[in-house]
């Protein structure tokens, strides 16, 4: 029996058989858990922050590009009233873990995992069929510091199987006019990101810089865009993760349960 700390709601969950190296982690939301393999790749705070920054309304259809083990659709199922959340993932082992996590959390009616290539997303899904697209794509340019480009961690972190233009180009095709695009990335690529977004008719509408400490430069940027939106960019106050070493900020504690 798992208890939701916020609401006190209880849910029965059946934990699946784990494969070698896998573990189950508590997401601290609605009693949801997730299956991960630390030797391959585990989600980071960037995915958690994106799930809180992204917005979806009741009845929305949401697509997460490069979903990994399904962290963003599962968290957004807890935080939003979206009708359907689909995760697209090219790595079969990650997609399998994501599917089993969905089943473990009894989310099969709302969350679906598809194993496929972002480059082929326009063939996998109907054009203009999504209200929201989210993505936590590889941050690093292909070849930068790579020692084993075929490893799951390298594929998740580096543009080995897809690049920024592939991701944003897929979002352009799959979002209907006015649909929302949400991404977390690194600030050093912000100029390139904006250029790619506008080229693909996704207008940057809102950004928020994420700083590890109040006196440190940002390490992440959260971005919202709108398909065929009008030019007007809102810059939100900085998001500070830590007050001190190992001490999360009040904002992180209040909004993310850290």
Rounded CA separation 14/32 (Å) = 11
Q: Identify the residue with better confidence: 245 or 142.
A: 245
Instruction: Write down the residue that tokens 């190992």 correspond to.
Output: 246
Residues of the chain with pLDDT > 70: what percent? 84
Report the range of poorest mean pLDDT among 13-27, 61-75, 172-186.
13-27
Rounded CA separation 227/231 (Å) = 11
Compute the average pLDDT of residues 224-237. 97
Compute the average pLDDT of residues 72-94. 96
Q: Model-level pTM?
A: 0.88
Confidence at 69, pLDDT banded by 50, 70, 90: very high
Check whether domain 43-256 has CATH 3.30.1950.10, yes or no: no
Compute the average pLDDT of residues 131-153. 67
- Triad 82, 187, 227: Cα angle to 5°: 40
The full set of domain ranges for the chain reads 43-256
Highest-confidence range of 142-146, 158-162, 241-245, by mean pLDDT? 241-245
Compute the average pLDDT of residues 158-172. 80
Report the range of poorest mean pLDDT among 154-158, 181-185, 217-221, 222-226.
154-158
Compute the average pLDDT of residues 147-169. 63
Neighbours of 70 (CB within 10 A): 29
pLDDT of residue 253: 85
Q: How many residues does the chain have?
A: 258
Mean pLDDT, rounded, of the chain = 88
pLDDT of residue 161: 56
Answer yes or no: is pLDDT of 196 > 70: yes
Instruction: Write down the residue that tokens 């972190």 correspond to.
Output: 157
Structural contact between residues 133 and 181, judged by C-beta atoms closer than 8 angstroms: yes
pLDDT of residue 12: 52
Structural contact between residues 94 and 68, judged by C-beta atoms closer than 8 angstroms: yes
Answer yes or no: is pLDDT of 118 > 90: yes
Could you read off the pLDDT of 200-214 as tens digits, one per residue?
Answer: 999 999 999 999 999
Rounded CA separation 183/54 (Å) = 8
């Amino acid at each position: 029996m798992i208890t939701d700390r916020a609401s006190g709601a209880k849910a029965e969950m059946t934990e699946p058989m784990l494969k070698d190296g896998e573990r189950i982690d508590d997401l601290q939301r609605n009693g949801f858990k997730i299956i991960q393999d630390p030797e391959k790749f585990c989600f980071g705070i960037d995915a958690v922050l994106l799930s809180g920054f992204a917005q979806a309304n009741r009845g929305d259809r949401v697509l997460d590009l490069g979903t990994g083990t399904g962290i963003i659709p599962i968290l957004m199922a807890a935080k939003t009233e979206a009708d359907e959340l689909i995760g697209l993932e090219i790595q079969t082992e990650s997609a399998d873990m994501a599917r089993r996590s969905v089943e473990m959390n009894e989310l099969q009616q709302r969350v679906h995992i598809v194993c496929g290539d972002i480059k082929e997303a326009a063939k996998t899904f109907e054009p203009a069929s999504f209200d929201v697209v989210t993505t936590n794509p590889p941050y690093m340019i292909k070849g930068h510091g790579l020692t084993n480009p075929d490893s799951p961690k390298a594929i998740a972190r580096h543009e080995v199987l897809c690049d920024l233009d592939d991701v944003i180009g897929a979002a352009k095709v799959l979002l209907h006019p006015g649909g929302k695009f949400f991404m977390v990335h690194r600030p050093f690529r912000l100029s390139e990101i904006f250029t790619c977004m506008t080229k693909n008719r996704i207008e940057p509408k809102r950004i928020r810089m994420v700083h590890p400490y109040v006196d440190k430069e940002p390490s992440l940027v959260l971005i919202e865009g709108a398909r065929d939106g009008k030019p007007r960019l809102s810059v939100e106050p900085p998001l500070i993760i830590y007050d001190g070493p190992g001490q999360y900020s009040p904002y992180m504690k209040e909004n993310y349960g850290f």
